[in-house]
Amino acid sequence: MIDAHCHLHFEAFDADRDEALARAVMAGVQGLVVADYDHRRRTELKHMGVHPGVAICAGVHPWAVDAMGADALTRELALLEDALDEEGWAAVGEFGLDFVRATEREARALQLRACSEQLRMARERKLPVVLHAVRCHSTLHDLLRREGSSPAGGIMHGYSGSARQVPLFLMHGLDISVGGRLARNPEKLRAVVQQVPLERMHLETDCPDGPTPGQSAHERSEPADLFEVARAVAAALHQPPERLVARCSENTRRLFRLDGTLSSDA
Write the pLDDT tens digit of every residue in 207-247.
999 989 988 878 999 999 999 999 999 999 999 999 999 99
Q: What is the pLDDT of residue 214?
A: 82
Whether 266 is in a domain gets the answer no
Q: Phi, psi (5° rounding) for residue 101?
A: -75, -40
Residues whose CB falls within 8 Å of the CB of residue 82, separated by 6 or more in sequence, listed in order: none
Burial class of 63 by CB neighbour count within 10 A (0 to 12, 13 to 18, 19+): middle
- CA atoms of 43 and 207, how far apart (whole Å): 19
Q: What is the pLDDT of residue 215?
A: 87
Neighbour count for residue 113 (Cβ, 10 Å): 15
The pLDDT of residue 38 is above 80: yes
Q: What is the pLDDT of residue 266?
A: 63
Strands 31-34 and 54-58 turn out to be parallel
Whether 26 is in a domain gets the answer yes
Q: What is the pLDDT of residue 141?
A: 98
Bridge partners (DSSP) listed for residue 97: 133
Q: Residues 116-126: what's their mean pLDDT?
A: 98
Query: What is the residue range of 242's domain?
Result: 2-256
Look at the chain and report how many structural domains it folds into: 1
The pLDDT of residue 265 is above 90: no
Question: 177 in the Ramachandran plot: left (φ > 0), alpha (ψ -120 to 50) or beta?
Answer: beta
Neighbour count for residue 41 (Cβ, 10 Å): 14
Q: Residues 27-33: what's their mean pLDDT?
A: 98
Q: What is the pLDDT of residue 109?
A: 97
* Helices then strands, each counted (H, E), the chain: 11, 8
Whether 240 is in a domain gets the answer yes
Q: Residues 177-186: what's their mean pLDDT?
A: 95
Rg (CA), the chain: 17
Whether 264 is in a domain gets the answer no
> What one-letter code names the amino acid at 41?
R
- CA atoms of 170 and 168, how far apart (whole Å): 6
Q: What is the pLDDT of residue 80?
A: 98
Q: How would residue 252 be classed by pLDDT, with cut points 50, 70 and 90?
A: very high
Q: Directed axis angle between helix 105-125 and helix 70-84, to 10°? A: 10
The pLDDT of residue 34 is above 90: yes
Strand boundaries in 39-186, DSSP class E: 54-58, 89-98, 129-134, 154-156, 174-178
CATH of the domain at 244: 3.20.20.140
Whether 68 is in a domain gets the answer yes
Question: In whole numbers, what is the pLDDT of the chain averaged over residues?
Answer: 96
Q: What is the pLDDT of residue 25?
A: 97
- CA atoms of 32 and 255, how far apart (whole Å): 13
Bridge partners (DSSP) listed for residue 154: 129, 174
Whether 263 is in a domain gets the answer no
Whether 226 is in a domain gets the answer yes
The rounded Cα 139 to chain-centroid distance in angstroms is 19
Share of the chain above pLDDT 90, in %: 95
* Longest alpha-carbon distance in the chain: 51
The answer to whether 29 and 227 have CB atoms below 8 angstroms apart is no
The rounded Cα 33 to chain-centroid distance in angstroms is 8
Distance from the first to the final alpha carbon of the chain: 16
Q: Residues 247-254: what's their mean pLDDT?
A: 98
> What one-letter code names the amino acid at 71?
D
Whether 261 is in a domain gets the answer no
Strands 154-156 and 174-178 turn out to be parallel
